Amino acid sequence: MHHLCNMKWIQTPCLICALAFGLFPASVAGQSSTDILAALSEKAKTYESVVATYTSTLTDKVADFEAVQTGTIRILGEQYHLDLGDYVVISNGQSVWTYDVAMHECMVDDAEALAEDGLDPSKLFTIWEDDFKNEDKGTAQMNGQSVRQINLYPNKPEDKAFHTIVLYIDEPALEMVRAVVKGREGTDVEYDVNTFEPGATIHPEIFSFREADFPGVTVIDNRL
The two beta strands, 132-142 and 65-76, are unpaired
Percent of the chain exceeding pLDDT 70 equals: 79
Candidate ranges 1-5, 39-43, 58-62, 218-222; pick with highest mean pLDDT: 218-222
For residue range 22-32, what is the model confidence (pLDDT) as tens digits?
444 344 456 88
Contact 44, 55 (CB under 8 A): no
Contact 127, 119 (CB under 8 A): yes
pLDDT of residue 207: 96
For residue range 2-27, what is the model confidence (pLDDT) as tens digits?
333 344 434 444 444 444 444 443 44
pLDDT tier at 91 (50, 70, 90 boundaries)? very high
Which residues have a Cβ under 8 Å from the Cβ of 49 and sit 6 or more positions away? 74, 75, 76, 77, 198, 199, 200, 201, 202
Average pLDDT of 193-218? Answer: 91
Q: Which CATH number fits domain 2-213: 3.30.2350.10, 3.40.50.970, 3.20.20.80, 2.50.20.10?
A: 2.50.20.10
Average pLDDT of 43-63? Answer: 85
Phi-psi category of 185—alpha, beta or left, where left has phi over 0 and alpha has psi -120 to 50? alpha
pTM: 0.73
Neighbouring-strand partners of residue 67: 58
pLDDT of residue 28: 47
Residue spans of the domains in the chain: they are 2-213
How far is residue 175's CA from residue 82's CA, in Å, rounded to a whole number? 24
